[in-house]
Amino acid sequence: MSNGKRHFAGRGEPVEAPAMSAVIATPVARKENPWIRFWTFIGWFPSDMSSSEKVLVMKLDLSILVFGCFSFFTKYLDQQSITNAYVSGMKEEIGLLGNELNYLTATFWASYCTAMIPTCYFITQYPANIVLPSLELGWGLATFGLAWAQNVNTLYAMRFFVGLFECASFTGTIYIIGSWYKPSETARRVALFYVSSPLGTMFAGYLQAAAYTNLNGVNGLSGWRWLFIIDTIITLGIALFGFTFFPDIPARRKPLLLSHAEHTLARKRLVGYTAPPGLELSRSIFKHVLGRWHSYAFVLLWTLMDLNGQIGGQPCSLYLKAYSPSVYSVVRVSTLPTIGTACSIVGALLAGIAADRIGNFWMPAMATTLLLMVGTIMLVVWNIGETGRLVAFILQGFVGPISPMAMSWATVTMANDAEERAVVTASMNSIGQAITAGVQVVMYPATGAPRWVSSFKANLGLNIVQILGILAIAYLARRETDTKVTETDMEAAIVTGGDGLQDHDQKVL
């Protein structure tokens, strides 16, 4: 081919011409750092990557993933804390009635989802290393306001602002990851980034249990109020780290951790792999996005994941709360759901490793969905004993791996179209969460605890649709890859005067 590049089958990722490889992969005479050797040994870095490039990527990981993961961690810490506070005394102290917990959750998601796509555009126009830490600071202060709420109206206001400031945590970090890494480096980092969300959910349970046990009544404040104060302290610390180390896109500013030579190398290594990072969204891009299957398929899969992930969250806590304190203590109500969260973490990591090893996303996504379905069937049956129902709720954690699988799948599929990737990934998160926020009030109202018969059956049906969605994306992605390979062969045939086309036809026949 005239551009000196070829494609990996199934990836659509160009391999740089030898001249570019020579520029990037210049051998380094010094002995490789033991820490770098360790990460190479476990497969984090390709064995054929030069030492200088490994050092560069490690610095990118430290600056991007440390802030991104902790930021996403605090998002889910804040999100889960409202449920943990509810089951640990906030309901009684504030005087929450009926389904007001559901309405608080819906208020959060309303501001979160409404602001997400506009914020996606905002981040492309202004320095991300200022925008994202500033938003982190904002939601830390809004979380602090929750600690002093005396009525439900204050809770509504603070949850609205928390959602507004948190809206860019996910899409903003995904945008920065896509701006600095090659497509072949993206999947494992998205998986690691995702793991921070269930870790935040799990940690919130233990944090609430500790606050209830050790801080309840200290300085006249309830344990659930201390929970929000601690959340605020953690969030503000992460914002300070972001202001110092988190990078903007490569074209605008050199990150603090990179030398000038490393910044130059970082920009050179992306040539031919990603679209120019100075992204500008226009009305025409939405016509372009809506004209392809990517947005419909990936948004649908993400929405199904969100809908199927409902059971393991608030409904699980409300189920335990319904049997408290006769069966489950306040501490156990806060900590038992973390077992399902642990399943989500382990499942996501194993799914990410499997996806890298076997070279596809659909098989790990299918395997974890089947485990999820087993748990949902058990809840539909219901009369399986207390232990059986706990196991059923715990199995709901296996919806978690679908998130990194879907996002990595979308990122790799659209690796060569940064504009489409930005719009689709933001749409996946915002549309999926918006639909779920509205549906949850109907499907899993707090007044329906501990059993939601029709909703469990509905989720079983959605499990089946999720399986069909995974298979559909696998088919469409494979068909798209085959089309690109055919077009590449046709181009090669034109360049070689027809011989390549003849060979290709013979192979097909």
Q: Which of 272, 300, 325 is at the close of a domain?
A: 272
* Residue 299 and residue 268 share a domain: no
- Three-state DSSP class for residue 221: coil
The residues pairing with 7 across neighbouring beta strands, listed in sequence order, are: 14
In a domain, 18, yes or no: no
> Is it the case that residue 395 has pLDDT exceeding 50?
yes
Is residue 14 in a domain? no
> Helices 402-413 and 418-443 sit at what angle, rounded to 10 degrees?
150
Banded model confidence at residue 277, pLDDT cuts 50, 70, 90: very low
Using pLDDT thresholds of 50, 70 and 90, give the confidence band for residue 31.
Answer: low
* Residue where a domain terminates, one of 251, 272, 293: 272
Residues 218 and 308 in one domain: no
Q: Which of 187, 190, 244 is nearest to 67 (CA)?
A: 244
Residue 265 has pLDDT above 80, yes or no: yes
Do 291 and 228 reside in the same domain of the chain? no
Same domain, 235 and 212: yes
- 3-state secondary structure at position 281: coil
Quote the pLDDT of residue 441.
76
Quote the radius of gyration of the chain (alpha carbons, Å).
24
pTM (2 decimals)? Answer: 0.70
Q: How far apart are CA 379 and CA 82, in angstroms?
A: 25
Tell whether 203 is covered by a domain: yes
Residue 13, pLDDT > 70, answer: no
User: Quick check: is 1 in a domain?
Assistant: no
Structural domain boundaries enclosing 151? 48-272
User: Are 291 and 225 in the same domain?
Assistant: no
pLDDT bracket for residue 44 (50, 70, 90): confident
Interior/surface letters 112-122, b for 16+ CB within 10 angstroms, e for the rest: bbebbbebbbe
Model confidence pLDDT, tens digit, residues 215-259: 888 888 888 899 889 889 999 999 999 999 999 888 888 998 899
Q: Do 105 and 149 sit in the same domain of this protein? A: yes
Residue 160, pLDDT > 50, answer: yes
Is the residue at 263 inside a domain?
yes
267 and 308 inside one domain: no
- The label of the residue with tokens 């799948």 reads 409
pLDDT value of position 84: 79
Query: What are the φ/ψ torsions at residue 496 (nearest 5 degrees)?
Result: -90, 5
Write the DSSP symbol of residue 267: H
Whether 242 and 263 map to the same domain: the answer is yes
> Would 266 be classed as within a structural domain?
yes
Please indicate, yes or no, whether residues 339 and 219 belong to a single structural domain of this protein.
no
Residue 8 predicted with pLDDT over 50: no
Based on the domain organization, do 208 and 328 belong to the same domain?
no
Same domain, yes or no: 264 and 289: no
Give me the chain's average pLDDT, please: 81
Instruction: Say whether both 246 and 334 belong to one domain.
Output: no
Q: Which residue, among 14, 8, 13, 10, has the nearest Cα to 481 in the 3D structure?
A: 10
- Residue 379, in any domain of the structure: yes
Q: For residue 430, what is the domain's CATH number?
A: 1.20.1250.20
> What total number of domains does the chain contain?
2
Phi then psi for residue 246, to 5 deg, are -65, 140
Instruction: Give the span between the Cα atoms of 220 and 233, in whole angstroms.
Output: 19
Q: 283-290 vs 293-308: helix axis angle to the nearest 10? A: 80
Q: What is the pLDDT of residues 167-224, one digit of tens each?
A: 888 888 888 887 888 877 777 788 788 888 777 767 777 777 787 788 888 888 888 8
Domain boundary among 272, 294, 326: 272
Looking at 52-61, 143-152, 200-209, 442-451, which range is the least confident one? 200-209
Determine, yes or no, domain membership for 277. Answer: no
